[in-house]
């Protein structure tokens, strides 16, 4: 039987965590939920041994990636950027292509600025983009809501943290399933 071509597949998927930084995090809507769900994504991708990338927008002004997620991220430096879109961030998009990643799960802040511009540029560069709505945020509800509508109208897939993780699992017969199930409870 055929599977739908938009279902996330391990050999094609990567996670991009955008700009979850100290000085801006606390003014985001539902920032505690955001942090919890981003950590679920990070830990789930680690369990599944899938690539994770993370960025920092102007860290001199906005500070480093928050310590609430940094310990869960893979070792290495954040990809630093001054542009809102990650498309110009130190060869990130080329790195995604070089690693044969076609499906990018995007989380982070702010939904209507850096996340939005990155999602649009990923779509323009022929990536399938999945945006878990419980793993992005903005300061204002109107900005968050308008971002969701635009993501969908521009071809991104609107989803949730749990849906992403279970799509990547695809079955319940593995040790990974038990680990992921514990994450989402």
Known catalytic residues are 19, 81, 114
Distance in angstroms between the alpha carbons of the first and the last residue of the chain: 31
Tokens at 92, concatenated: 């990130």
Which string of b and e fits 124-160 if b means at least 16 CB within 10 Å?
eeebbbbbbbbbbbbbeeebbeebbeebeeeebbebb
Give the H or E element holding residue 116.
helix 116-124
> Distance between CA 184 and CA 37 in Å, rounded?
9
Q: Which residue has the tokens 């950027």?
A: 81
């Amino acid at each position: 039987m055929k599977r739908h071509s938009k279902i996330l597949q391990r050999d094609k998927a990567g996670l991009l965590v955008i700009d979850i930084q100290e000085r801006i995090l606390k003014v985001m809507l539902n920032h505690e939920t955001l942090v919890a769900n981003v950590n679920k994504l990070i830990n789930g991708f680690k369990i599944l041994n899938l690539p994770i990338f993370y960025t920092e927008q102007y860290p001199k002004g906005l500070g480093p990636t928050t310590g609430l997620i940094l310990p869960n991220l893979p070792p290495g430096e954040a990809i630093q950027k001054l542009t809102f879109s990650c498309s110009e961030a130190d060869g990130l998009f080329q790195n995604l292509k070089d690693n044969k990643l076609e499906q990018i799960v995007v989380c982070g802040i702010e939904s209507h600025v850096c996340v939005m511009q990155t999602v649009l540029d990923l779509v323009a560069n022929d990536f399938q983009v999945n945006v878990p709505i419980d793993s992005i945020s903005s300061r204002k509800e109107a900005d968050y809501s308008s971002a969701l509508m635009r993501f969908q109208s521009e071809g991104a897939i609107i989803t949730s943290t749990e849906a992403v993780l279970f799509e990547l699992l695809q079955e319940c017969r593995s040790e990974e399933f038990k680990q992921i199930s514990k994450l989402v409870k």
